[in-house]
């Protein structure tokens, strides 16, 4: 489809579809936004992009899409993946599309660390002791497989963990 608007019109006129594939960069919007529209409730939704950015694949997975296809895939491989998606499978090429699991409290600590807050300030803001914050940071380092605070913040940003939680969009979970 040439644009998000064209895809919306086609969904209303010709849908439903078993499979919907959208490029992330559309002339009039972003593929993730289009795929999260309530136009495709029973469709297998797949995002395609020229960017192999880990956070984009992670966002696609978190929003309930079935696959993230980098445009660098060979055509036959792409067809194989789409066939697999139609059979009910998910496909994300990179292992880091599955983000390390952090608890809500660990995410809160990491986000405040990214803002440059000290352990003491984080503890005061979250109503816990400085020692508890240090314990959370140690677990964050382990789960993100990093050695220090700066690396944790960089890895968290790369994985999209530091983005504010977007409001729930119809059609996406």
- 109 neighbors 132 (Cβ within 8 angstroms): no
Q: Token pair of 132, please?
A: 């508890």
pLDDT of residue 47: 93
What pLDDT, in 10s, does the model give residues 34-64?
998 888 888 999 999 988 677 788 888 878 8
What is the model's pLDDT at position 94?
A: 60
pLDDT of residue 167: 40
Q: How far is CA 97 from CA 129, 149, 170, in A?
A: 33, 22, 22
This prediction has a pTM of: 0.60
Distance CA 141, CA 61 (A): 23
Q: Rounded distance, CA 72 to CA 87, Å? A: 23
Banded pLDDT at 164 (limits 50, 70, 90): low
């Amino acid at each position: 489809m040439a644009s998000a608007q064209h895809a919306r019109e086609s969904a209303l006129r010709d849908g439903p579809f078993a499979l919907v594939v959208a490029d992330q960069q559309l002339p009039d919007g972003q593929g993730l936004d289009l795929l999260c529209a309530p136009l495709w409730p029973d469709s297998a939704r797949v995002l395609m992009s020229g960017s192999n950015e880990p956070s984009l694949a992670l966002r696609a997975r978190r929003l309930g899409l079935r696959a993230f296809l980098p445009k660098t895939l060979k055509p036959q491989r792409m067809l194989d993946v789409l066939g697999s998606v139609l059979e009910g499978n998910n496909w994300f090429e990179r292992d880091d599309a599955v983000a390390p699991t952090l608890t809500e409290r660990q995410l809160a600590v990491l986000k405040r660390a990214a803002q440059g807050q000290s352990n003491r300030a984080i503890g005061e803001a979250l109503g816990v002791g400085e020692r508890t914050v240090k314990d959370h940071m140690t677990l964050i380092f382990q789960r993100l497989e990093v050695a220090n605070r700066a690396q944790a913040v960089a890895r968290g940003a790369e994985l999209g963990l530091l983005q504010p939680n977007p409001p729930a969009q119809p059609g996406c979970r």
